[in-house]
Amino acid sequence: MLQPLRCAVRRGVQHSCCRRLSLSAQCYSSARKGLVLGVYEKNKEDEILVLTQAGDRFDSTVSGKLRDQLERSGPSLKKGKSRIFYGLHQEFPSVVVVGLGKESVGFNQAELWNERKENIRTAVSVGCRHLQELEIEQVEVDPCGDAQAAAEGAVLGLFEYNELKKKKKKVVTPALFGSKEEEAWQKGVSFAEGQNLARYLMESPANYITPTRFAQIFEEKLGKLGSNVKVFTRQKSWIVEQQMGAFLSVAKGSEEPPVFLEIHYTGSPDPLESPLVFVGKGVTFDSGGISIKPSSGMDEMRADMGGAATICSAILTAATLKLPINLIGLAPLCENMPSGRANKPGDVVRARNGKTIQVDNTDAEGRLLLADALCYANSFNAQAIVNAATLTGAMVVALGSAATGVFTNSSWLWTHLQEAGGITGDRMWRMPLFEHYSKQVTESALADVNNVGKDGRSGGSCTAAAFLKEFVTVPHWAHLDIAGVMMNKDEVPYMRKGMSGRPTRTLIEFADRLSKDKKPS
Ligand code: BES
Ligand code: ZN
Ligand code: ZN
């Protein structure tokens, strides 16, 4: 027999408003709580339905009605597909059940990712968004056996950039259903919030997120974290003192002043332990400069600070989670604009290490900023330097949005990056750093190096990486070209379309792994 519904506001008391589902307006709004539950896909239609542990528990509190209704309402739910049930439970008037795919899946060698985690992220994201569309603000989520992945799916899935619109989606704060995996859930929330911050910064218009504003945001956020976090917002005079002539040559084309943001997080029990240094390209708008880009799609270049956004957000998250590692973040921030002061094709500039660079294409500006930032990074006795940059359109052509391209001189770093990407689902793919490409950038008519390969556009991502290598002196360095993963259309099913904030979670996971590993010599 159907249990009479009790008021979710005044529990246990039955008033007329609670009869059946005809709640009064007051009770109705307070009772709008939703639940997202996962269900595995059947191998054959006549098999018994496999719910998650939390789903099973819920089903027994409603005397098997969930299972019953699921069986009656249609075929077994496919991966990422959802069905909603109303009035099953007094506390949760709306229950969304989402397909988790096959129960047996785990790490997929062909795909190089943990399929189980990816399926959980997708299912939870779908379920949460379903409830958000119904304007249900309180949502509890089935941990689906991996509360971190579930939290990531919920928090990434619900994010939408609507800062500048009058009409906004309901703010939904997802919570864990049950209490067993609270720590893992919180970790997932932190990872996803880190990525959402990078998404927010990348999506924001370039007239809002200028170099100055970018630095302010991290000053504010990191300033709250305590004495083991330090932020230095270096102004132009400091950049000049440092003789960062390549970075300055890009910045001088714009009216916006450049900033060199430097972040230190000392999380290791040994404050003198060698740091992991992250470097991020921070071009808050890339018009191409005098080698101006075509106007169609140029607006996307507001996200050309994705390297800076992802590395700074990863450090903020590492500090929030108190990871036992020392981290330094370096972000050269400026605009690339055409003006009377801008770099001209054929100009020669001098980097911090004294090398001269012929700027044959002013649109290859990211490598100029990074050349100086990498020279500076060399001075920290780093255990490793990892830079992230939306560096080349050729990366979009090579890998699309499937994975970040990794160019590295260290197999130790590569192993950690690859493993981290397999866990987060934000994958890495190794690319070559052959001498072949170095030759193409080190032969230049007027200077020591050229900012474009002499072979034209062929192997564009590889020549860009070879250029950066000219400014690195450490044995463990990796360059992450994130141009291909900068945006999401619908490839990552647990995120709405827009700037992706990738690979923030992989950087956090990587730092976490490195904090547990023996350092190589
Ligand atoms: N920011 C762009 C690369 C980019 C393209 C990022 C598409 C994200 C999506 C970079 O500064 C650039 O313009 N690179 C040039 C280099 C070329 C002139 C050698 C490119 O890739 O076309
Ligand atoms: Zn450019
Ligand atoms: Zn650029």
Q: Which of 65, 102, 252, 293 is catalytic?
A: 293
Expressed in angstroms and rounded, the spacing between residue 304 Cα and the centre of ligand 2 is 8
Return the domain boundaries, the chain: 31-181, 193-346+361-430+479-514
Q: Is the pLDDT of residue 521 over 50?
A: yes
Predicted pLDDT at 20: 38
| Gap between the Cα atoms of 50 and 37, Å rounded | 12
Identify residue 374 by its one-letter amino acid code.
L
Based on the residue annotation, tell me whether 81 is a catalytic residue of this protein.
no
Ligand nearest to the CA of 363: 2
Residue 25 has a CB neighbour count (10 Å cut-off) of 8
At 438 the pLDDT is 98
* Whether residue 185 has pLDDT greater than 90: yes
Q: In testing the pocket of ligand 1, which one of 284, 299, 363 has its CB within 8 Å of the most ligand atoms? A: 363
Q: What is the mean pLDDT of residues 492-508?
A: 98
Q: What one-character-per-residue DSSP string does 215-270 give?
A: HHHHHHHHHTS-TTEEEEEE-HHHHHHTT-HHHHHHHTTSSSPPEEEEEEEE-SSS
413 pLDDT above the threshold of 70? yes
Lowest mean pLDDT among 13-17, 101-105, 156-160, 391-395: 13-17
**The pLDDT of residue 45:** 80
| Of 229, 464, 246, 434, residue with least CA distance to 334 | 246
The predicted pLDDT at position 168 comes to 87
Residue nearest atom 13 in ligand 1 by C-alpha distance: 363
Q: What is the pLDDT of residue 12?
A: 38
Section 16-42 average pLDDT = 64
Res 11: pLDDT: 39
Cis peptide leading into residue 503 (ω within 30°): yes
Range with the poorest average pLDDT among 34-48, 396-410, 470-484: 34-48
* pTM assigned to the model: 0.94
| Residue 352 parent element (H or E) | none
Helix 147-158 and helix 115-133: axis angle, to 10°?
A: 40
The pLDDT value given to residue 29: 46
* Tokens at 127, concatenated: 């379920």
Ligand closest to the CA atom of residue 298: 1
**How far is residue 182's CA from residue 39's CA, in Å, rounded to a whole number?**
21
Q: In testing the pocket of ligand 1, which one of 336, 360, 392 has its CB within 8 Å of the most ligand atoms?
A: 392
Q: What is the pLDDT of residues 149-178, one digit of tens each?
A: 999 999 999 999 999 999 888 899 999 999
Q: To 5 degrees, how large is the angle CA 10–CA 15–CA 18?
A: 85
Q: Is the pLDDT of residue 24 over 70?
A: no
pLDDT for res 416: 98
**For residues 141-174, b (16+ Cβ closer than 10 Å) or e, as one string?**
bbbbbbbbbbbbbbbbbbbbeeeeeeeeeeebeb
Model pLDDT for residues 436-492, shown as the tens digit of each residue: 999 999 999 999 999 999 987 899 999 999 999 999 999 999 999 999 999 999 999
> Closest-lying ligand to the alpha carbon of 451?
1
In sequence order, what are the beta bridge partners of 480?
Answer: 388, 406
Q: Which residues are bridge partners to 431 per DSSP?
A: 407
Residues with CB under 6 A from ligand 1: 286, 304, 361, 363-366, 390-394, 396, 452, 460, 483, 486
Q: Distance (Å, rounded) from C-alpha 228 to C-alpha 514?
A: 19
Q: Is 502 helix (H, G, I), strand (E, B) or coil?
A: coil
Q: What is the token pair recorded at 440?
A: 């193409």
Distance 438 CA to ligand 3 centre (A): 20
Identify whether 42 is a catalytic site residue.
Answer: no
User: Which atom of ligand 1 lies at the shortest distance from residue 460's CA?
Assistant: 19
Question: For the residues 131-142, what does the mean pLDDT come to?
Answer: 96
Q: Is the pLDDT of residue 230 over 70?
A: yes
Q: How confident is the model at residue 337, as a pLDDT? A: 98
Residue 138 has pLDDT above 60, yes or no: yes
Amino acid at 350: R
Specify the pairing of strand 94-99 against strand 107-108.
unpaired
**pLDDT for 2 beyond 60:** no
Q: What is the mean pLDDT of the chain?
A: 93
Architecture, CATH, for domain 193-346+361-430+479-514: 3-Layer(aba) Sandwich (3.40)
CA–CA dist 231, 262 (Å, integer): 6
Distance (angstroms) between ligand 2 centre and the Cα of 144 equals 43
Q: Over 90: is that where the pLDDT of 64 sits?
A: yes
Residue 94 has pLDDT above 90, yes or no: yes
CA–CA dist 142, 158 (Å, integer) = 16
* Mean pLDDT in residue range 361-381: 98
Q: How far is the CA of 217 from the centre of ligand 2 (A)?
A: 24
- In this predicted structure, what is the pLDDT of residue 61? 96
The mean pLDDT value for 293-315 works out to 98
In Å, how far are 6, 35, 136, 137, 509 from 22, measured between CA atoms?
11, 20, 17, 20, 48
Specify whether the CB–CB gap between 317 and 508 falls below 8 A.
Answer: yes
Say if residue 28's pLDDT is above 70: no
Q: Which atom of ligand 1 lies nearest, measured to the CA of 453?
A: 19
Residue matched to tokens 């949460």: 128
Distance CA 163, CA 170 (A): 13
What is the mean predicted confidence (pLDDT) over 360-370?
Answer: 98
Question: Ligand 1 pocket: which of 202, 370, 391, 397 to mutate (most atoms <8 Å of CB)?
Answer: 391
Q: How far apart are CA 84 and CA 88, in angstroms?
A: 10
Mean pLDDT of 254-258: 98
Under 8 Å between Cβ of 261 and 307: no
Does the pLDDT of residue 17 top 50, yes or no? no
Catalytic pick among 32, 129, 352, 367: 367
Q: Which two tokens stand for residue 169?
A: 């989606």
State the Cα–Cα distance between residues 182 and 172, nearest whole angstrom.
18
Atom of ligand 1 nearest to the CA of 364: 16
Question: 292: buried, middle or exposed (CB in 10 Å: 19+, 13-18, 0-12)?
Answer: middle
Assess whether pLDDT exceeds 90 at residue 296.
yes
Is residue 199 over pLDDT 80? yes
Ligand 2 mean position to 363 CA, how many Å?
Answer: 3
Q: How far apart are CA 304 and CA 285, in angstroms?
A: 6
Q: What is the mean pLDDT of residues 419-428?
A: 98
Pairing of strands 356-359, 404-408: unpaired
Atom of ligand 1 nearest to the CA of 286: 1
Q: Tokens standing for 241?
A: 């003192």
Cα(350) to ligand 2 centroid in Å equals 19
Q: How far is the CA of 394 from the centre of ligand 3 (A)?
A: 12
Place of tokens 């990738």: 502
The residue behind tokens 């001075």 is 379
Ligand at minimal distance from the CA of 464 is 1
- Answer whether residue 223 shows pLDDT above 80: yes
Cβ neighbours of residue 163 under 8 Å, at least 6 residues apart? 200, 204
Per DSSP bridges, beta strands 276-280 and 282-286 are unpaired
Amino acid at 388: A
- C-alpha of 246 from chain center: 28
Instruction: Answer whether residue 6 shows pLDDT above 70.
Output: no
Q: What's the confidence (pLDDT) of residue 31? A: 53
Report the C-alpha gap between 206 and 161 in whole angstroms: 14
Ligand 1 atom at shortest distance from the alpha carbon of 283: 1
Percent of the chain with pLDDT over 70: 93
Task: Say which CATH architecture domain 31-181 belongs to.
Answer: 3-Layer(aba) Sandwich (3.40)
